[in-house]
Chains A and B, each alone.
Chain A
Amino acid sequence: DAKTTQPNSMESNEEEPVHLPCNHSTISGTDYIHWYRQLPSQGPEYVIHGLTSNVNNRMASLAIAEDRKSSTLILHRATLRDAAVYYCILNPGTYKYIFGTGTRLKVLA
């Protein structure tokens, strides 16, 4: 199973953009990159996913490197409600998600 590597923690000021990196050097050509986040005392929630092209939705943007060995989740304006653990997951086409330890994002008021 392909693995991902993320920083353990990051901090951001409120209203500023946040770039959360993820390395996945063993990604295969058909693996989709999914991002989920887990707010305190809740189950994970979907954020965004992509294959090769950059993706945008109302929650965030996903920038995927040309060689697909890394990706970056971009929160354009962090709010206190964005404080959570963010997980980068490679989806090979099964529901067997392999979660790492994720990045704990702290947002400072």
Chain B
Amino acid sequence: DAGVTQSPTHLIKTRGQHVTLRCSPISGHKSVSWYQQVLGQGPQFIFQYYEKEERGRGNFPDRFSARQFPNYSSELNVNALLLGDSALYLCASSTGQAPRVDTQYFGPGTRLTVL
């Protein structure tokens, strides 16, 4: 079975630009979460979607937005990029039905560099 896939693998943007990152969950998974991982730190929660509805939001500015499609894939959008947005962006999928014990399956991430 295919795992969580993310695209693109790497991305270079300049300050002020906009970026869209994509995630395809494991087949049958209805929940997708997004995390930002700055070099040397643990991942930080950005958003969680379940059945196309936002279920949780982390402490990120409104420049960050996301959505989930009917096929449960998801997009993370970041507007007005700042140098500090340079990071590895991780997507995780899960069934969404038992949050306490569900396993989150992470993709390999998209490495975003802002110049």
Contacts and interface: CB of A to CB of B under 8 A. Distances in A.
A92 to B, nearest CB: 8
B55 interface: yes
A44 interface: yes
Contacts of A97: 33, 35, 43, 45, 104
Contacts, number: 68
Main secondary structure of the interface of A (DSSP, over half): loop
Interface residues of B, number: 29
B107 interface: yes
Interface string B81-115: 00000000010101010011111111111000000
Interface stretch (A14-22, A72-80, A99-107): A99-107
Interface in B12-56: 31, 33, 35, 40-45, 48, 55-56
B55 A94 contact: yes
Interface of B: 4, 31, 33, 35, 40-45, 48, 55-56, 58, 90, 92, 94, 96, 99-109
